[in-house]
Each structure stands twice: as C-alpha cells, then as structure tokens.
Amino acid sequence: MARNKFNVDEELETPFNMAHLKRLLVYVKPFKTQIMITVIIMLIASGANLIGPYLIKQAIDKEIPSKNIAGLAILAGIYLVALIITGICMKFRIRMMSRIGHSVIKNIRKDLFTHLQNLSFSFFDSRPHGKILVRVVNYVNSLSDLLSNGLINLITDLFSLLVIVGFMVSINAKLAIFAMAGFPILAFVIFLIKNAQRKAWQNLSNKQSNLNAYIHESINGIKITQAFVREEENKKIFDGVSNGYKTSWLKAVRVQFLLWPAIENISVLTVSLIYVIGVSMIGNGITVGALVAFVGYIWMFWTPLANIGNFYNAIINASAYLERIFEMMDEQPTISDRPNAKELPMIKGAVEFDHVVFGYESSVRNLNQVSFRANPGETIAIVGPTGAGKTTIVNLLSRFYDIESGEIRIDGINIETVTIASLRKQMGVMLQDPFIFSGTIMDNIRYGRLDASDEEVIEAAIAVQAHPFINQLKQGYYTEVNERGSMLSNGQRQLLSFARALLADPKILILDEATSSIDTETELALQKGLETLLADRTSFIIAHRLSTIQNASKILYIDKGMIQEEGTHDELIRRRGLYWKLYTSHYSSLKVI
C-alpha cells in the first residue's frame, strides 16, 4: 500500500503560463531601484569587456606595423583598466543580486507559510505532509539561481548582443551576415527541446515530492518501524522511490544539456565558416587585425546567446516549481470568515447545537440531526463507541470544519457569522495526541497566551499537577524539549498540553481524551486541581475513562452520529440503557484486570 502511495504523482491542476512569471515579478518589484543600479553597472562592465577585440584590431593593424611601443603600451593599459572595471562590477553584481534573490525567496516562502497557516484541516488531511514541506523549502530554493543571476544576466546579455552586432557590422557587414547564419538553426533546436524539457522537470518535481513525503513519514514513524521490524521492507520502498527520483533527474538533466552542445557546435561551425570566408577576403576589404577582431566578437556573440539559452533553461526548470508553489498559494481554505463576519464579543459560554448535520465526505453523515444545549459553566461529557462522532462535535464547535445544515450557536450567536480568530481565542483545546513544540517547557505552556508571566505559567502547571515532574527536570521550566516532546512520557506531554489550554483562560474548554495517558494517581490529583478551574467554564470532555465524567453536568451518549441518550450519570444508570451497558462493562473489565 505504501509503495503504491508514494509512487503516485500529484496531478497538476493549473498548467504553467506567463501569468506565473508575472506573479514572480511582483515579488521582484520592491527591489527595482537596486536592480536598475545593478543593470547600469553591468552595462558598464559589458561595455568595458567588449572593447578587447577592437583594441587587438588596433594593435595588429596600426601599432605593430608601425612599431609603436608607446601606442601598444597605451592599448594594453586601456585593456587592463577595462578588465579591472569588469572585475569590480562583477563583484558588485554578485553581492547585490544574491542579496536581492534571497530576499525575494524569503518573501515567497513567508507568503507560502502564512497561507498554509490559514488553510483548513481538510487540506492537510488529504496530503502527505512531506509533499507540503518540499514546496515550502526545496521548490522555493530552486528559484534562487533564476532570481540571483537570470534577470540581470538577461538584460546584460541582450545589451551585449546589440553592441557586438554593432561592432561586427562596423568591421564588415558581409561577414556579419554570415556570422548570424547559425542563429535560425539554434532557434529551431530550442523549439524542439522546450516541451520535452518542461515535462522532464515537472516529472522530476513529482518524484522529489514523493521522495520527501516518504522520508518525512518514515522519520515520524520510526518507532513503529523498529517495533514491527519493518526496516528491510521500508528500505525496498525507499529504493524504489529513490530510483524513481534518480531516473527522472538523469532524464531532466540529459534534456537540459542538449542546448549547450547545440550552441557550441553551431558556434564552432559559424567561426569555421568565417575563417574560410574571411581569409579569402584579406587584402580585399578586410585586414588581418579586422579578421582577428571579428572572430573575437563572434565568440563573444555566442557567449550571451549561450547565457540566454541557460536563462531559458532556468525559466523552464523554474516553471515546474512555480506551478506547484502558486498552485498551493491559490488553494482556498474551505473554512474562512464570511464577508460580513464580526468579532465574537466576550462570551458567557452557552453552547447550542440545533439539528446539526455533517459529513467529512458527502456520501457519509458523521452527525445526523444532533441537538443539545450546554449552559454557561456546565461540564458536558461525550461518550460512545469509536467512530460514533464524539470528536466531530468538538471539531465543529471549534469550526475546524463547517456543518452542512443546522446551526451551532454560542450565547445565541451563530458561529459562522463571527471571525474564526475571535471564536478560537475564547476556546481552550486539548487534543488526544498533544503536540509539544521544540523549545523550553515554559515556552510550550505559554504558547496559547504569549503575554502570560512566568508566575501564571507556573500556577497553571501546579493546577494540572505538572509542576512536580517539571521541577524534577534538570533545568525545570527552562528545560529544552525536542519536537513532539520525545524526551517526555505521554502523560507528561498531556499535562503540559493541559496547562497550555488552561493558561489561555478560555470560556469554553475542550478535552479530547485528555487523561488517556495519565496514571490513576495523577488523574485523581488532577481532578482536584480542575474543580476550581472548570467552575466558570463551559467544558466538553471526551473520555473513555468514565471515572473522569461521573460528576459532569450532562452526559451525551453518541452512536451512529446521533445522540442516543442524554442525562446525568445517575439518571443514565437508572435507565439501564446504552450508557449503563458501557459503564458496567468498563468496570467489569477493571475487576478482571
């Protein structure tokens, strides 16, 4: 299954067009002043570099025959100054354009990352995260050469071509016509290979995406891999994906390098033609010096053409990445603020589901006509079998997904009419799989409320019983933890996540399997700390441990996307229905253990 999955290439929904280049130029526009200065400096360098063959012509035709040593020295001095000017200008160009190019890349990556923060859960649910990562890092980096060198070189090379043609025509117009005889052949070669090159680089970007996605998943699942002794099988899958990337890369490079030999061969043939014709014309309208200078300009003529060919290659290569980058930027969040959305005012915490219907897929309903009410300060427990729709309820309340029909109201306000940020700022969420970021313990707890003082962070940790284990760490609250908190136990990660949610001081608190990895002793202490903290908050608790919900204001038993039973613990026990069966089976299993 995994082998097939990572060999499936992404379909490109928006093929490349010139609009992508125009969008790229929008990022370049803020640096137009620096670019213009660089262009002017490079034109000076180009002019200084192009006088070389003309100086040689003067030396061969005038100074050497007349044995004018002083004249030769002057020409040599001018040539030396021209080389120095060219060198200084090139150093300036490299520094300036590298700075501009990487500034543009930084801005593109910033916009792409910012856009990703706003995309809906459904976007991330349907894509391997490695394929997202490769666009933000690798694909954006691939634009570096185009932005740092390509634009300036194109302008400079076009200028050089015009000046070179001018010099050649001034020396001998007839030879100039012969010199450009190979240009139509080159244009035909470029036309032949352009489509093959673009397709080759598109395919390479797909294979790079597949490889990155598999590596990312393998690293995240390394514990499972080793636990099930899957190393050899994973190695085979990796070899297949990696070989696909290698084959695509070799093909892309092979097509790309067709252009350079074509230019080299055409230029050599053109120079050979000029030598044959030029030698026959010596003494008949052309001098030896003029012929030497003319041949020098021919070589120079093909150099900017080769550079323009390389720029064309860079455009083709970059197009494969620009397509992917802008395709992601054009991805619209399925969950977004309505045009007239307002800020949600400070809430009391009354929550009402009114005939809510929802399905992650259009053909399946995960919730069907769900209705209930939670008053401010109440604790609502949600229980039921796996896949019944428990987590879906809290996901919809946080508006991670939008409902199909019905309404969800907080303090009588439809949550779809307020801004998402103002809604979620008044909620605290602790998920079943708590995520710990790389950084200190203090930073992780403060994540949801950056202006909180150290004392407030510690108070939150004390309330959820995280303080004792934090104090035992080498540097206490300033202990550095790795991504996902690999140095911490599951229970410790959940306690930190709980402290993070409580520190945000939410009016609505959502606990999704919040105590699933906490030992019984810690759980008892945790409940004592929560009594005060939950008093003024509307809380939703999803838990398999029924001991954590017995004191809930209301228990909802969810099955098949519907509320099958509703009431307090004692009321539901007296009914001897589905909740009673769940409760008795739960404690029967504990007795067996």
Contact in structure between 300 and 50 (CB atoms under 8 Å):
yes
Cα distance between residue 186 and residue 191, in whole Å = 9
Q: What percent of the chain has pLDDT over 90?
A: 15
Higher pLDDT, 569 or 331: 569
Cα distance between residue 58 and residue 52, in whole Å = 10
405 phi and psi angles, rounded to 5 deg:
-155, 170
CA 483 to chain centre: 18
CATH of domain 2-329: 1.20.1560.10
Higher pLDDT, 149 or 340: 340
Q: In this predicted model, what pLDDT tens digit does every residue of 438-495 receive, in sequence order?
A: 888 998 899 878 888 999 999 888 888 888 889 988 889 998 887 666 678 777 887 8
Q: What is the mean pLDDT of residues 548-574?
A: 89
How is the chain split into domains, by residue range? Answer: 2-329, 340-426+540-593
Q: In this predicted model, what pLDDT tens digit does every residue of 90-130 receive, in sequence order?
A: 888 888 888 888 888 888 888 888 888 888 777 776 677 77
Q: In this predicted model, what pLDDT tens digit does every residue of 488-544 receive, in sequence order?
A: 877 788 788 878 888 888 889 888 776 665 666 666 656 665 666 666 789 898 876
Helices 183-220/259-281 angle, 10° precision: 160
2-329 with 340-426+540-593: one CATH topology?
A: no
| Per-residue pLDDT at 593 | 42
Q: Which fold has domain 340-426+540-593?
A: Rossmann fold (3.40.50)
pTM of structure: 0.65
- pLDDT of 555 higher than 90: yes
Six-digit token string for 588? 């029967």
* Residue 378 DSSP class: -
**Model confidence band, residue 1 (pLDDT cutoffs 50, 70, 90):** very low
| Average pLDDT score over the chain | 81
- Give Cβ neighbours of residue 472 (< 8 Å, ≥ 6 apart): none
What DSSP string describes 41-104? HHHHHHHHHHHHHHHHHHIIIIITTTT-HHHHHHHHHHHHHHHHHHHHHHHHHHHHHHHHHHHH
Candidates 333, 343, 273, 264; CA nearest to 305 is 264
**Model confidence band, residue 167 (pLDDT cutoffs 50, 70, 90):** confident
Q: In this predicted model, what pLDDT tens digit does every residue of 292-303 receive, in sequence order?
A: 888 888 888 877
Contact in structure between 364 and 395 (CB atoms under 8 Å):
no
Q: In this predicted model, what pLDDT tens digit does every residue of 174-212 receive, in sequence order?
A: 888 887 777 787 777 777 776 677 678 778 877 877 887
- pLDDT of 141 higher than 70: yes
Q: In this predicted model, what pLDDT tens digit does every residue of 406-452 receive, in sequence order?
A: 999 999 999 999 999 899 888 888 776 777 888 889 988 998 788 88
